[in-house]
């Protein structure tokens, strides 16, 4: 994943990383955490009636220069640019979201990185119950605690990987995937669906998620949900408050 306007120092500054990056597991973990905590998951462009651009230069400009966030293809695409700059091998995978009542196509995109002889699931763009650190693909059927969240990777009846998260004390399927390599161009149809289809949640509602070390803040339409150390608080906002929260809390521009 290459963009002519991407450079590693600018990326590291954008995410607030002050260490010495290398092509190792420690850097992989640190970069994912730092990006997750500084670059929001957001669909402002879709809400403005735009089809999200998958041109790599547009993604780099949007997140690095404009201070924006993005949804899965954008934030994971940016992360892949950083991996490539560091010489860390990776591949894109197509994932099937599984929290909908009906079966859905593989519209989600995640990254598998390989460092120190292990393959790691990296995902900075799944929203509310996305993982908060890379997950070792060899550690199956083991509860993995990440801050106040608990995740589990297993195989389903087809032999594909299945990511689960504990939600309200119960295991909830998040998405399934296999290791068939995907090219960047393969996500163009899914991106168009997520940007335009009337049944896509990104078309239906404003969705903004900002992870932080003790939890996450989620803006879904006019409902603001704040999760801190496993405790959740909800507050319904009026239109003016939505604008204020976007600007002051999520550091994003107004939707109007």
Please give the Cα distance from 220 to 218 (Å, whole number). Answer: 6
Q: What is the mean pLDDT of the chain?
A: 94
Other beta carbons within 10 angstroms of residue 21's beta carbon come to: 19
pLDDT of residue 222: 95
Determine the Cα–Cα distance for residues 154 and 161; give it in Å rounded to an integer: 6
pLDDT in tens, 37-54: 999 999 999 999 999 999
Q: What confidence tier does 256 reach under pLDDT thresholds 50, 70, 90? A: low
For residue 242, give Cα distances in angstroms to 55, 167, 245, 250. 29, 26, 5, 11
Q: How confident is the model at residue 124 (pLDDT cuts 50, 70, 90)?
A: very high
Q: 18 to each of 9, 12, 14, 31, 120, how far by Cα in Å?
A: 10, 7, 11, 10, 23
127 falls in which pLDDT band (50, 70, 90)?
A: confident
pLDDT, position 3: 93
The helix or strand, by DSSP H or E, that contains position 242, with its residue range, turns out to be helix 239-248
DSSP 3-state percent helix, strand, coil across the chain (nearest 5): 30, 30, 40
pLDDT tens-digit profile of 142-157?
Answer: 999 999 899 999 998 8
């Amino acid at each position: 994943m290459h963009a002519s306007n991407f450079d590693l120092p600018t990326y590291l500054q954008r995410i607030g990383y002050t260490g010495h990056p290398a092509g190792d597991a420690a850097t992989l973990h640190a970069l994912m955490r730092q990006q997750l905590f500084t670059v929001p998951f957001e669909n402002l462009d879709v809400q403005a009636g735009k089809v999200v651009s998958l041109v790599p230069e547009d993604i780099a400009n949007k997140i690095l220069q404009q201070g924006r966030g993005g949804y899965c293809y954008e934030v994971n695409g940016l992360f892949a640019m950083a991996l490539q700059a560091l010489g860390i091998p990776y591949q894109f995978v197509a994932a099937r979201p599984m929290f909908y009542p009906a079966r859905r196509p593989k519209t989600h995109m995640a990254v598998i990185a390989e460092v120190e002889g292990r393959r790691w699931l990296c995902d900075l763009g799944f929203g509310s119950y996305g993982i908060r650190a890379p997950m070792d693909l060899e550690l199956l059927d083991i509860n993995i605690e990440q801050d106040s969240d608990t995740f589990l990777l297993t195989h389903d009846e087809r032999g594909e990987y299945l990511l689960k998260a504990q939600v309200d004390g119960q295991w909830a399927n998040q998405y399934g995937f296999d290791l068939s390599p995907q090219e960047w161009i393969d996500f163009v149809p899914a991106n168009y669906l997520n940007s335009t289809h009337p049944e896509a949640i990104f078309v239906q509602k404003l969705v903004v998620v900002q992870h932080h070390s003790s939890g996450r803040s989620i803006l879904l339409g006019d409902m603001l949900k704040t999760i801190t150390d496993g405790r959740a608080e909800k507050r319904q906002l009026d239109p003016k408050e939505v604008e204020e929260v976007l600007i002051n809390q999520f550091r994003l521009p107004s939707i109007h």
